[in-house]
């Protein structure tokens, strides 16, 4: 069976000029709600050493991370701001710690993880859109998929102990949470 399927994929790709992706356990990770397969796009720098052009010391970088977080900046935006404004390509290369580890050392923690919060913001935006455009079925599908991701991610974070056990997603509280 295995060889026949591999032969079929090879023949199909030669005849129709399309690539078929066949994922095995431990193979490529595929996207959840699309037919596309692929790997993440960004690549980390190859060397793990501190770049020569960075003049800031590790304690100064940690201080910048803490002040930016106290101003209400998310972890991903902190990394972008440090890269674009201060010329720090990677906080880990300079401080030997990630942004999350720096914040945990200083007893700073987000109430809701950043990836979950961005999905909740997206669902609120789709709710507003669906109130005005009730017959937009494509948006309704997107909303349903977004809610499914939120529930699955919430279940994961509850198991890991990051969210309280009684945390549940509801559209009413989501609108209040985002504001």
Residues 120, 165: one domain?
yes
Residues 171, 127: one domain?
yes
- Kindly state the helix (H) or strand (E) to which residue 146 belongs, with its residue range: helix 137-160
Using an 8 Å Cβ cutoff, are 35 and 20 in contact?
no
Q: What is the DSSP letter of 35?
A: S
What's the structural domain count of the chain? 3
Whether the model pTM is above 0.75 = no
Percent of the residues in the chain that have a pLDDT greater than 70, as a whole number: 75
With 0-12 / 13-18 / 19 or more C-beta atoms within 10 angstroms meaning exposed / middle / buried, residue 49 is: exposed
Q: Which of 111, 98, 82, 108 is nearest to 176 (CA)?
A: 111
Question: Looking at per-residue confidence, does 23 or 32 come out higher?
Answer: 32
What single string gives the DSSP state of each residue in 37-85?
Answer: B---S----S--SPPTT----HHHHHHHHHHHHHTT--HHHHHHHHHHH
Residues 155, 118: one domain?
yes
Structural domain containing residue 5: 1-30
pLDDT digits (tens, 9 = 90+) for 98-110: 999 999 999 998 8
pLDDT digits (tens, 9 = 90+) for 54-78: 889 999 999 999 999 999 999 999 9
């Amino acid at each position: 069976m295995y060889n026949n399927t591999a032969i079929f994929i090879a023949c199909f790709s030669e005849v129709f000029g399309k690539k078929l992706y066949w994922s095995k356990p431990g193979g490529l990770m595929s996207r959840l709600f699309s037919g596309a397969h692929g790997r993440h796009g960004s690549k980390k720098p190859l060397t793990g050493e501190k770049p020569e052009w960075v003049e800031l010391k590790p304690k100064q970088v940690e201080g910048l991370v803490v002040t930016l977080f106290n101003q209400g900046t998310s972890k991903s935006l902190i990394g972008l701001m440090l890269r674009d404004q201060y010329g720090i390509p990677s906080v880990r290369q300079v401080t030997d710690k990630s942004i999350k580890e720096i914040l945990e050392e200083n007893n700073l923690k987000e109430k809701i993880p950043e990836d979950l919060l961005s999905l909740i913001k997206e669902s609120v935006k789709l709710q507003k859109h669906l109130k005005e455009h009730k017959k937009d079925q494509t948006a309704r599908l997107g909303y349903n998929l977004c809610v499914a991701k939120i529930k699955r991610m919430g279940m994961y974070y509850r198991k890991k102990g990051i969210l309280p056990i009684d945390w549940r997603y509801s559209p009413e509280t989501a609108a209040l949470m985002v504001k």
